[in-house]
Structure 1
Amino acid sequence: MIEAVVSVGDVNKYNMQLEQTSKHINIPFVRLNKDQLLTDFKTLLLETSPDLVLVFGLGCKVPSELFTIPKKGFYNVHFSLLPAYRGHSPVFWQLKNGETTGGVTIHKINEKFDDGPILAQKTVTIFPGDSYGIFSARLGIESTMLIGNAMMELNTQGEVFLTEQDKEKITYAPAPSLGDLKIHWETQTAKEIECLVNAGNPDYGGAVALLRGQPIHILEVNMALLNNPNPGG
């Protein structure tokens, strides 16, 4: 049984939908800011005494003194195959880098971001033309099934097998800067530009280009084959 749903941070379209859904199915919904994790959130944990806490999209660290309150700890859902693409924006960087597969990881939370041992993973294909929005939606669907199986395992087994992350394979996915979103026509290939545009659509407003000195946002491109890509003059 879900005791409560907690949203930490600013109001946005995603947690507004979460709030509406929670209220529709009569699950308590609580809004907090990160400064309330050791006060209001800790009180909620002590009052509800949950078996575990499932975290998704939290932009700050869970204070370590809370780790032992849930009987089985805190688990995080991350949209990559950890230890690859740790950090804020794994979907963006997987698409920008032209990966053909991504995935979902459920791991136990420790003192570092995206560092804890892995409970479950699912590989998800990245299809040609997938945008940030499309691939994220597919990851969301896959994660619900993975979460269901993982929760069943945690509830039915006294001990679960967790796999430590391979430190030699760590890569990072920080929040993209404006420079990361900018198209470099002179140096990037058509495929690299397509990957960048897809990676930015829609959450980062697409890729950024300059037209007569003014920035424009490009949300969709299609590659074309030209018989003579460099017509002579």
Structure 2
Amino acid sequence: MNSQKRILVLCGGKFAFKALQLLAAEKFLCGIGIGKGSSIISEVLEGESEKNNLAFKSFPDKKSLSEMKPWIENLNPDFIFSISFPFLISEDILSYGKEKFINFHPGPLPQYRGPMPIFEVLKNQEKNTAISVHFMDSKYDEGPIIFKETLKINEDDTYGKLAVKLSNHTAQVALNMANMAEYAKEIPSSIQESTDAYYYEKPALTDTCIKWKNMTASEIIALVNSCNPWNTGADTSFEGEQIKIITTSLFDQSHENAMPGTILVINENGTINVACSDNKQVSIEILKTDIGIITAKQFNYQGNILGKKFK
């Protein structure tokens, strides 16, 4: 009987932790490579690797990738799993073995290629997302699809909530993939449909900024959720001060076509209602201002804000 397959995991940090733990528990994991991770996370992974007799290497920048191929060749894994690894793997490194590099992309492919699909699916108000497992090639997220696991997006999901959900589910998906690699004579895959493909760059300020004049209430809520917590919240401005809105909800009531962005009501519970372009309102609960993260009630204490506008 052949010995169990040995899997090296290339990762970018905390998102891969559950998968690393499960693969280690099932005796598949032989090494960990981390790319551009924080020093604390790198130290934790290095310590755990040493304790469990696993190979470990840090790749802090693109230049350090020149050390990857000889490290992999020395370790000689059967497969290399990539879970949120931040750098593109070159053709030279991929030449280690055909169909040995497998990526776990936290979004539907080919529709949501790019580094932050969690942000994009939330911003676009998708009902479902996916973990897309695919063979890697020398381009981001373009290799043949092995399989996809669909996950429902809940109405109250923020970037943080959905990331945790996907991280937990990726662990089981990675174990399923390891078992497939262990027992299948060959791993089936299919070429991605180019007609459905779209690549999203990393979000810029223009992507995280609320455009009060033309965004509906549901679009604003979706943007706020998609920015929490990685961007602290969605960007806006008030009286010349840069503000981030962290938590908001729908107040489904007409405002009789007030100017979008106008603060209409200060509620008894301290939240503030703001006019949106679709004649609905959003109720803001938590913000970040120059004085820190505060409630809408505290924001109101800074002065008379009724009738003033976010821009």
For normalisation by structure 1, the TM-score amounts to: 0.91
Instruction: Give runs of aligned pairs for residues 42-121 of structure 1, distance below 5 A.
Output: 42-70=69-97, 72-121=99-148
Contact 2:145 2:189 in 1 (8 A): yes
Aligned residue pairs, count: 230
* Gap change, CA 1:221 and 1:15, over 3 Å in 2: farther
| Displacement after TM superposition at 1:16 (Å) | 5.6
| One-letter amino acid of the structure 2 residue matched with residue 37 of structure 1 | L
Partner of 2:239: 212
Dislocated runs of 4+, deviation >4 Å? 12-21
| One-letter amino acid of the structure 1 residue matched with residue 255 of structure 2 | P
Query: In structure 2, what is the Cα distance between the partners aligned to 1:187 and 1:13?
Result: 42
* Gap change, CA 1:220 and 1:25, over 3 Å in 2: farther
Alignment RMSD: 2.0
Higher mean C-alpha deviation, range 71-80 or range 22-31: 22-31
| Displacement after TM superposition at 1:22 (Å) | 3.8
Cα-to-partner distance string for 1:135-154 (whole Å, 9 max, x where unaligned): 01111111111111111111
| Displacement after TM superposition at 1:59 (Å) | 2.4
Larger RCO: 1 or 2 (CA < 8 Å, sep 6+): 1
Structure in which a larger fraction of residues adopt strand:
2
| Displacement after TM superposition at 1:189 (Å) | 0.8
Which of 199, 202, 218 matches 1:191? 218
Contact 2:107 2:117 in 1 (8 A): yes
Runs of 5+ consecutive residues of structure 1 not aligned to the other structure:
none
Of structures 1 and 2, the larger Rg is shown by 2
Query: In structure 1, what is the Cα distance between the partners aligned to 2:257 and 2:144?
Result: 56
Query: In structure 1, what is the Cα distance between the partners aligned to 2:103 and 2:42?
Result: 17
Which of 15, 18, 41 matches 2:68? 41
Which of 162, 165, 171 matches 1:144? 171
| Displacement after TM superposition at 1:64 (Å) | 0.7
State the SS of the aligned residue for 2:141. coil
Query: In structure 2, what is the Cα distance between the partners aligned to 1:90 and 1:12?
Result: 25
Higher mean C-alpha deviation, range 14-23 or range 188-197: 14-23
Contact 1:120 1:150 in 2 (8 A): no
| One-letter amino acid of the structure 2 residue matched with residue 196 of structure 1 | L
* Gap change, CA 1:130 and 1:43, over 3 Å in 2: same
Runs of 5+ consecutive residues of structure 2 not aligned to the other structure:
1-27, 259-311
State the SS of the aligned residue for 1:99. coil
Partner of 1:230: 256
| Displacement after TM superposition at 1:7 (Å) | 0.8
Query: In structure 2, what is the Cα distance between the partners aligned to 1:28 and 1:166?
Result: 37
- Percent same amino acid among aligned pairs? 26
| One-letter amino acid of the structure 2 residue matched with residue 135 of structure 1 | L
Higher mean C-alpha deviation, range 6-15 or range 83-92: 6-15
Cα-to-partner distance string for 1:22-64 (whole Å, 9 max, x where unaligned): 45544332112321222x2122111111101111222221111
Query: In structure 1, what is the Cα distance between the partners aligned to 2:42 and 2:211?
Result: 35
| Displacement after TM superposition at 1:2 (Å) | 1.9
Query: In structure 2, what is the Cα distance between the partners aligned to 1:229 and 1:14?
Result: 48
Which of 155, 164, 173 matches 2:182? 155
For normalisation by structure 2, the TM-score amounts to: 0.69
State the SS of the aligned residue for 1:164. coil
* Gap change, CA 1:26 and 1:12, over 3 Å in 2: same
